[in-house]
Chains A and B, each alone.
Chain A
Amino acid sequence: MTARRPWWKTALGVVFTALMLFPVYWMVNVSFTKTADLRLSPPHLFPLDPTLDGYAEVVRQQLPNLGTSLLIGLGTVALTVVIAAPAAYAISLLNLRGGRTLNFVLLVAQMIPGVVMAMGFYAIYVRLGMLNSVWGLILADSTVAVPFGVLLFTAFMSGLPRELLQAARIDGANAWRTFTSVVMPLSRNSAITVALFAFLWAWSDFVFASTLARNSALKPVTLGIYSYIGNNTTQWNAIMATAVVASIPAAILLVVAQRYVAAGVTAGAVKD
């Protein structure tokens, strides 16, 4: 801990951050570039003569895809929380037998490559006629978030004061009542954290979308961008504009969730 806060470190930090974020800046810059200027050499470093053509393309072509992604994201969030929270309650507070084993299974589950899961789902969905459906994608995407959700909820709920649960029981609340009116309200920040990450992963998913919804009428936006690239289009400003729009949830997460995530973790840290 230095009492003095050297300005040169801040300066250096800004330089590092700028280098790190250059690709993001470049994406934004290209998204505002005129189609005619895309092939300039050297390219313009700043969008001095910006155009919104790229974004007009987004509105014209990608709006349904953005809607689909939103729907899939929200569906994944709902499914994840509904499955993960009660299970975490059972593991952390109801002394579920085999709870430790279950945790271990969840840790291992997170290590399975997405390609293999995609193949398994593909084989199943072909039979059930669930390919190219929003539901199919929600189910597949949730497999990334559910283990994470259970582990996070469990970590938080184990830190809840037992006295509170006993008080609820003395007041005549059964396990379900305790869960809905004591445990869940207290776990609000964890729920927000789980929900945000579940949304972000579902929104960002490429592997499941490109395997299970290849011919879908309702494409997620990740596939929208991918088919742009695949078509060898010259309109990189439109691609980058779509990419910028597709990054909005990440930006929101960074700005808004910072608080919730921090709150969730500090709340969990001050147990005992």
Chain B
Amino acid sequence: MTISAAPAVRPAPDPKPSAPRPRRAKGGGTGGSRWVAVAFAAPLLAYLLAFYAYPLIRSIDLSIHDYNVRAFVQGNAEFVGLKNYIDVISSPLFGQAAWNTVVFVFGSLIFQYVLGLALAVFFRGNFRLSGILRALFLVPWLLPLIVSGSAWAWMLNSDNGIVNSFLHAFGIGQINWLTSPDTSMLAVIIANIWLGIPFNLVILYSGLQNISGDLYEAAALDGAGPWRQFWSITFPLLRPVSAITLLLGLVYTLKVVDIIWIMTSGGPANSTTTLAIWSYREAFGTGQPDLSPAAAVGNILIVIALIFGFIYLRMQRRQEQS
């Protein structure tokens, strides 16, 4: 369980203050200890206000005004209420971007989860080198996304990519992975599955560690084979961990920009434009930053992410109580 610990902390399902903290209102503190605590937390509170709350307020502010470049610098943008939101939602691109987001998120999640779970089960029985191999599986997750993105882009290059060259050996003709609207989504999903496997593997593997080995022994005595054991023990008992893995994966996948932008920039013909990519492109992808609609799309995305985020937190809490 050596380095599996590393990633387990990243999505922050674990690092909660351990259990209910002992309330030691009396006795624990000396006279002004409440203010001492506030003093120690003050930098964080100031930080959260300045670098979380304020940027978020600014992004709401952008979305309800009409900021063009000049207004941006002078700060006298016209108030337009919900017009940006209405424009965005009624734009023909909205349906496509929403659908692309669904395809990208679920396409990625299903395969990340299935492959991650299969690998977690595979690594469960310790064997020689299993620790090192499991550590190596983390590599995709630790690499900068620009690195993985450009590596995949070159591998999937139509003319000179290793993938097409490999497929050619099997008599499959050239596939324009990144330049054809038919395959571009598949291409970015493949890359994203590769990126997400380590996270799923680590969380599911640590979930497997909590299933008692006795259960498997009893099942084996009753004559259940590995397949039966998986469906009757592993999968049902892993359900809470699975739900949490998938929900957290969902929240993280919704906001993915880097990998898609690096590989396709949302194209060709918007075939890989998700909501996050759309927002990014409106704001920063062209020479003319169009921040107001971009902020509107971004804020819609926040709402979606937070809905699933709250479901995740509820589930996490319920699981801690049980």
Does residue B14 face the partner (Cβ distance < 8 Å to A)? yes
Q: Which residues of B contact A (CB under 8 A)?
A: 1-3, 5-6, 8-12, 14-18, 21, 23-25, 28-30, 33-34, 36-41, 43-45, 47-48, 51-52, 54-59, 61-62, 72-73, 75, 119, 122-123, 125-130, 133, 135-140, 142-148, 150-155, 159-160, 162, 165, 168-169, 194, 197, 213, 251, 254-255, 257-258, 261-262, 276, 279-280, 283-284, 289, 291, 294-295, 298-299, 301-302, 305-306, 309, 313
- Interface footprint category on A: 35 or more
* Distance of A50 from chain B, by nearest CB (Å): 17
Does residue A182 face the partner (Cβ distance < 8 Å to B)? no
A-B residue pairs, 9 tightest by C-beta: A120-B55, A113-B255, A204-B144, A87-B44, A94-B37, A155-B15, A90-B40, A250-B142, A265-B5
B12 adjacent to A147 (CB under 8 Å): yes
CA separation between A110 and B11, bound complex, in Å? 8
Chain B interface secondary structure, helix, strand, loop or mixed?
helix
Question: Please, which residues of chain B bring their CB within 8 A of the CB of A200?
Answer: 142
A13 adjacent to B130 (CB under 8 Å): yes
Q: Mark A228-268, 1 if CB is under 8 A from B, else 0.
A: 01000000100110010011001001100110011011100
CA separation between A121 and B47, bound complex, in Å? 14
Q: Out of A84, A117, A142, A243, name the residue touching B151 (CB < 8 Å).
A: A243
Known: A94-B33, A150-B44. A119 touches B294 (CB 8 A): yes
List 5 A–B pairs whose Cβ atoms lie within 8 Å, in order of A's numbering: A7-B128, A42-B169, A83-B44, A206-B145, A253-B142
Q: Out of A97, A150, A258, name the residue touching B2 (CB < 8 Å).
A: A258
Q: Which residues of A contact B (CB under 8 A)?
A: 1-2, 5-7, 9-10, 12-14, 16-17, 20-21, 23-24, 26-27, 30, 38-43, 82-84, 86-87, 89-92, 94-97, 99-100, 102-124, 126-127, 139-140, 142-143, 146-148, 150-152, 154-155, 158-159, 169, 175, 179, 193, 197, 200, 203-204, 206-207, 210-211, 214, 222, 225-226, 229, 236, 239-240, 243, 246-247, 250, 253-254, 257-258, 261-262, 264-266, 271
Known: A111-B306, A116-B298. A96 touches B41 (CB 8 A): yes
